[in-house]
Amino acid sequence: MTEEPVGKDIKKGPRFGVRHIQTLLLFFNIVVVSVSRLNISVAVVAMTNAESTNPNFQEFDWTEQQKSYIISSFYWGYVVTQFPGGYLSRRFGAKIVMTIAVCGSAVCSLLTPLLVTIGGWQIFCIIRIIQGLFQAALFPAIHEHIAKWSPPQERNILGALTYSGVDCGTVLAMLVSGMIASSTLGWPGISYISAGLGFGWSVLWLIFAADYPPLSRFITEAECRYIEKSLRRDDDFHAKRVPVPWLAMFTSVPFLALLIVRCAETWGFCTVQTQIPSYFNGVFSMNIKSNALYSALPYIARWIMSYTYLYFGNMAVRRAWLPLTVVRKIANSMALWLPAFIMVGIGFLDDTNQAWAITLMTLNVGFNGGVTIGCVLSTIDLSPNHAGVVMGIVNTLANMVSLLTPLVVGFIVTDVQNRFEWQIVFIIAASIFFLGNLIYVIYGTAEAQPWDAPDFLLKKNIEDPTSVTKSSFSGCKSAFNVKTKATDCKVNSMSVEKLG
C-alpha cells in the first residue's frame, strides 16, 4: 500500500504554514519533557554531593542502589500508560491528551523539592512514578499528531525535526541542570524551572494546536486541502473509528522487527543516557559542573548528526537515489552498529584517558542520531492510520527495557570507580545494539502494511482513489465558510464515497 502523489496543481499554502507550527510545538514539547525526565541524572549527583554544587541546600546520604531506584522509577510509571496514551489520542485527540500529560508532569516537578525533603528517596521514587504515568502518553500522541498533520512527502523532515527535540532536551538537562545546581537556586531550582517550562508550553499548545487540519483556526484553505489530499482523506475520515487489526499487527514480521530494534536501541541509549554522569564522576573523578558540561557534549553531537542524517537521507529519497526502506536501514545501521563497536572500547579506558573517553562517548552518541530517520519514523511508515496505537505498543515494550537497564547497571556496578564493572555494562549494551539492528536490516521495511487499510477488517474495496481525492476537501472548505464550531468540519453533508 503506497500513498498517491500530490498533483502539481495543488498549492501547499504558506511557505511556513500551520503544519510547521505544529512541528515546532511538538519539538518544544519533547524538549520540555526530556528536560524534566533526564535532569534526574544530574540532580541525584547534586543532591548526594552538595559540596560540589551548592552546600547551602540539604544533602542526602543515598546508596548507589537507592539512586538507581530513583533513576529507574520514572520508567515504572512510563511503561504503564504508553498503550492507553495511544488509544486515548485516537479517541479524544492529541491536544487534550498532551495538555493533561504535560501539566501533570509539571505539577510533579513543582512539588518534588518539598516532598523529597519530607519523605526521602522513597517519596522521590513515588513522584517519579507518577511523572512517568503522565509523560507516557506523550510519544504515542505525538506520533498520532504527526500522522494527521504531515503529508507523506514531508514526513521525513517534519518527523525528524520533531524528534530532534530529544537531543536538544538532553543537552539542556545535562548542561543547564549542572549550572542550576551550582547557582543560588541549588538542586531545587532544577525542578522549579522544569515545572515552569511545562506550564509555559501548555499555554502555547492550547492556543495554536489542533487535532487535525480542518479544526485549526489559523490554517489557510490551500494548506488544509494540500494536507488532506496528500493523505487521501475523504470528508468523514476524522469522524470514523477505524478498527485496529490486532491479530494482523502482531503477526506482521516488519512490525515485530520494528519492536525488537526499538527495544535494542532503547537499552543501549538508556544505558548511556542515564549513566554518563555516574561514569564520569566515578572513573574520571569530575566534579558536577564539568561533569554536566562533558556529559552534554555527546548529545550536542547527536543533535547535529540528526540533522546531517536528515539532510542526506531526504536528498537520497527526493532525488530517487535510494528507496525509503534502504535509507531507513542505512541510517539505523550507522546509528546502532558504529556505536556498538565504540562502546566496547570505552569500557577499557582509565582515568589517564579522560580525553579519549569524552571523544569516544561523543562519537558514540552522535552516530546514534540516525535512529530518528531510521526505526523511529518506521512506526508511522508501517501504519499511518494506527500510528498512535502502534507507537503505544512499541514504546510500552521498549520502555520495559528502560525500566530494567538502570537496575541491571546498579546490580553490576557496585563501585562506580571500578572500570571492570563498567566494561561489562558497555559490552552488554553493544551486543544488544548489534543483534537488534541485524534483525531490522533483514526484516524491516518502510512500506505501509496491508493491515493499515481502513477497510482491512471490513472486507470492502476502497473506491477509485481519483474519485476519493476529488471529493475530499469540502471538509476543508467548510472550515472557512461555515462560522460554527470547528468540530462541524468533521462530517460534511455533501455526498462522498466512504472508505469503510
DSSP state letters, 389-450? HHHHHHHHHHHHHHHHHHHHHHHH-SSTT-HHHHHHHHHHHHHHHHHHHHHHHHH---SPPG
Grid coordinates belonging to 143: 506520533
Mean pLDDT of 404-428: 84
pLDDT band, very low/low/confident/very high, at 480 (cuts 50, 70, 90): low
Residue 85 has pLDDT above 90, yes or no: no
Question: Does residue 308 carry a pLDDT above 70?
Answer: yes
Tens digit of each residue's pLDDT (9 = 90 or more) over 156-213? 888 889 988 988 888 888 778 878 887 888 888 888 999 999 999 999 999 999 988 8
Q: Determine the Cα–Cα distance for residues 51 and 53; give it in Å rounded to an integer.
A: 6
* Mean pLDDT value across residues 64-82: 82
For 360-500, strand residue ranges (E) read: none
Residue 483 has pLDDT above 50, yes or no: no
Q: How confident is the model at residue 236 (pLDDT cuts 50, 70, 90)?
A: low
Higher pLDDT: 339 or 279? It is 339
pLDDT at 489: 42
Do the beta carbons of residue 440 and residue 329 sit within 8 Å?
Answer: yes
User: Cα–Cα–Cα angle for 373, 391, 231, nearest 5°?
Assistant: 70
Q: Are 129 and 81 in contact (CB under 8 A)?
A: no
Judged against a pLDDT cut of 60, whether residue 385 lies above it is answered with: yes
Q: Which of 46-55, 281-290, 330-339 has the highest mean pLDDT?
A: 330-339
Mean pLDDT of the chain: 81
Q: In this predicted model, which residue has the larger pLDDT, 52 or 312?
A: 312
pLDDT at 19 exceeding the cut of 70: yes
Q: Which three cell numbers stand for residue 203?
A: 499555554
d(CA 180, CA 172): 11
Percent of the chain with pLDDT over 90: 25
Give the C-alpha distances (Å, rounded to integers) separating 354 from 365, 406, 497: 17, 24, 66
Average pLDDT over residues 235-251: 73
Euclidean distance between CA atoms 76 and 71, whole angstroms:
10
For residue 473, the 8-state DSSP code is: T
Please tell me which residue, 244 or 467, carries the higher pLDDT value.
244
Across the range 410-430, mean pLDDT stands at 85
* Mean pLDDT, residues 7-23 taken together: 76
How many angstroms separate the CA atoms of 371 and 302, rounded?
Answer: 10
Counting Cα atoms < 13 Å in the Cβ hemisphere of 106 gives 18
DSSP-derived 3-state class of residue 112:
helix
Question: Mind listing the domains of the chain with CATH numbers?
Answer: 18-215+231-490 (1.20.1250.20)
- CA of residue 154 relative to chain centroid, distance: 18
Is the pLDDT confidence value at 432 over 90? yes
Phi, psi (degrees; rounded to nearest 5) at 286: -85, 145
3-class SS string, 155-222 = HHHHHHHHHHHHHHHHHHHHHHHHHHHHCCCHHHHHHHHHHHHHHHHHHHHHHHCCCCHHHCCCCCHH
Instruction: Count other C-beta atoms under 10 Å from residue 246's C-beta.
Output: 12
Q: What is the mean pLDDT of residues 489-500?
A: 38
- Over 115-163, what HEC string results? HHHHHHHHHHHHHHHHHHHHHCCHHHHHHHHHHHHCCHHHHHHHHHHHH
The amino acid at residue 493 is S
pLDDT value of position 331: 93
Cα–Cα distance for residue pair 287/280, rounded to 1 Å: 9
The CA distance from 391 to 219, in Å, is 27
In angstroms, the CA 39 to CA 185 distance is: 15
List the end-to-end C-alpha distance of the chain, in Å, as a whole number: 16
Predicted confidence (pLDDT) per residue in 50-63, tens digit: 565 566 777 788 88
Span 262-284, mean pLDDT?
A: 82
Alpha-carbon Rg for the chain in angstroms? 23
Top pLDDT among 149 and 288 is at 149
Q: Which three cell numbers stand for residue 6?
A: 500530490
- For 333-367, the pLDDT digits (tens) are 999 999 999 988 888 887 788 888 888 888 998 99
Please name the amino acid found at residue 13: G
Burial status of residue 379 (CB atoms within 10 A of its CB: 0-12, 13-18, 19 or more): buried
Task: Check residue 16 and give its pLDDT.
Answer: 85
Distance, in Å, from the CA atom of 131 to the CA atom of 382, rounded to the nearest integer, reads 30
pLDDT of 9 higher than 80: no
- Region of 492 on the Ramachandran plot (φ > 0 left; ψ -120 to 50 alpha; else beta): beta
- Angstrom CA distances, 390 to 50, 259, 262, 374, 483, stand at 43, 10, 12, 16, 36
Residue 317 has pLDDT above 80, yes or no: yes
Phi/psi for 482 (5° steps) reads: -110, 120
Residue 272 banded pLDDT, cuts 50, 70, 90: confident
Section 261-282 average pLDDT: 83
pLDDT band at 10 (very low <50, low <70, confident <90, very high): low
Give yes or no for residue 260 having a pLDDT over 80.
Answer: yes
> Rounded distance, CA 61 to CA 43, Å?
14
Q: Which residue has the higher pLDDT, 111 or 417?
A: 111
Whether residue 102 is predicted with pLDDT greater than 60 in this model: the reply is yes
For the chain, helix (H) and strand (E) counts, in that order, are 19, 0
